[in-house]
Amino acid sequence: QVQLVESGGGLVQAGGSLRLSCAASVSIFSINVMGWYRQAPGKQRELVATITSVDITNYADSVKGRFTISRDNAKNTVSLQMSSLKPEDTAVYYCHGLMGFRNYWGQGTQITVSS
């Protein structure tokens, strides 16, 4: 069983920055793909960014150029650096890990961007 624990959420003004971290209970070398998803009220969960075990990254068009995903294999963490935040980035952000055919999710952390 893999546990993912997010940290770093909070309230920020538009244009500001935040950094999310996700700590895994196992070596992230064993997790094929890790990423961040978000879910705004009344909307479906959507992909924000992913990173593979060989550091191939993928971003949603809405966050390209503003968000950066990275992984620290020594600390078993994946981070999401968010800048130029917009009110539409407000959502619960979830850490995700894909190991083999199994999906693992964190409990989520709230990001609120005020205008």
Kindly report the CA angle at 29 between 20 and 96, in degrees rounded to 5? 40
Instruction: Return the residue matching tokens 């950094």.
Output: 19
Instruction: Give the DSSP letter of residue 2.
Output: -
pLDDT, average across residues 18-45? 95
Look over the chain and give the mean of its residue pLDDT values, rounded to a whole number: 96
- The pLDDT of residue 29 is 86
Q: What percent of the chain has pLDDT over 70?
A: 100
Structure confidence at residue 16 as a pLDDT band (50, 70, 90): very high
In 3D space, the residue among 85, 108, 96, 110 whose CA is nearest the CA of residue 33 turns out to be: 96
CA distances to 32, 56, 96 from 52, rounded to whole Å, are 6, 5, 12
* Separation of alpha carbons 27 and 73, rounded Å: 7
Q: Is the pLDDT of residue 84 over 90?
A: yes
